[in-house]
Amino acid sequence: MSTNTIDNGRKVTTRRLIEMKQRGEKISMLTAYDYSSAKLIDEAGMDAILVGDSASNVMAGNVTTLPITLDQMIYHAKSVMKGVKRALVVVDLPFGSYQGNSKEALASAIRIMKESHAEAVKIEGGAEIIQSVERILSAGIPVMGHLGLTPQSINKFGTYNVRAREEEEAKKLIADAHLLEDAGCFAIVIEKVPAELAARVASELTIPIIGIGAGGGVDGQVLVMHDMLGINQGFSPRFLRRYANLGDIMKDAFKNYINDVKNSDFPNSSEQY
């Protein structure tokens, strides 16, 4: 039975995600950047959809998430919203739209909410960006935190390796998670940290912890759609499970089409007017 049949397609809200944690029901989340994929993901019964700034990598072909702009994030978010009826839609605030200036952070979040009609924003970091988080929350905009590996800070970290293996960084992550919960965030993504640490944070906090490369002891999981479908073939970290190999299926289809066109097999007499 699909999730839609179970809950009659009832809209997922930030409140419902917290209730899911309370009753021990795991939360499913996946990225989407366009109407057609978002519609399929929603119809499959996903709880939440992230319009991630990973669009910078998998849609635009950039090496990092830094180049994507607020206008581009809004374009993707608008497209996704048109395909979604049930899932909660969360949109990443892109690099440069919230750091160091809480007024600008609020203005960016308001543009996302007003122009895309999405339901929440996600923001990377802890104590460093807490003023931005508080100001956005003060306008009634739900905020999802993001700790651990925060790809917008790749130039500071220098690598995409596992974060918070050392005690000092682990302690800061725990403190940041509490800070975000106390500020009023409804959930936190924790990326690529030791499973034990992520499980500890999930057990200490009342808001859901959504993991990516953070083990099974958290309240839910998020993956990047192109990675789990095998469309982004060059990326295979240990935490990634591939649910399909669409890259190969797509390439085969493209090759068959090319052959059919070259051999004049397409279109045939029943495929014309």
Active-site residue set: 191
227, 245 Cβ separation under 8 angstroms: no
Is residue 113 within 8 A of residue 142, CB to CB? The reply is no
Q: Which of 42, 61, 59, 58 is nearest to 4 (CA)?
A: 42
Cβ closer to ligand KIV: 65 or 253? 65
Q: How many CB atoms lie within 10 A of CB 84?
A: 23
- List the one residue from 42, 53, 176, 181 that touches ligand KIV (CB under 6 A): 53
- Among 14, 28, 54, 79, the residue binding ligand KIV under the rule CB under 6 A is 54
Number of Cβ within a 10 Å radius of residue 76 = 24
Touching ligand KIV, residues 158-187 (CB under 6 A):
none
Q: Which x/- pattern, by CB under 6 A, does the window 59-98 give for ligand KIV?
A: ---------------------------------x------
Half-sphere exposure of 29 (CA within 13 A, CB side): 29
Judged by beta carbon, residue 48 or residue 170, the one nearer ligand KIV is 48
d(CA 265, CA 262): 8
- Quote the tokens at residue 110: 């308001």
Stretch that binds ligand KIV, among 15-23, 47-55, 127-135, 157-165 (CB under 6 A): 47-55
Tell me if 224 contacts ligand KIV by CB under 6 A: yes
Contact between 52 and ligand KIV per CB under 6 A: yes
Binding flag, residue 219, ligand KIV (CB under 6 A): no
Q: Are 61 and 54 in contact (CB under 8 A)?
A: no
What is the smallest separation between the CB atom of 107 and ligand KIV, expressed in angstroms?
21
Q: How far is the CB of 57 from ligand KIV (least distance, A)?
A: 8
Give alpha helix (H) positions in 89-194: 102-116, 130-138, 154-157, 167-183
* Shortest distance (Å) from residue 139 CB to ligand KIV: 22
Q: Determine the interface stretch with ligand KIV among 48-56, 80-88, 200-208, 238-246 (rule: CB under 6 A).
A: 48-56
Q: Name the DSSP class of 125.
A: B
CB of residue 268 vs ligand KIV: minimum separation in angstroms? 42
Taken in order 169, 198, 146, 36, is the CA torsion positive or negative?
positive
Give the footprint of ligand KIV on this chain (CB under 6 A): 31, 50, 52-54, 92, 189, 191, 212, 222, 224
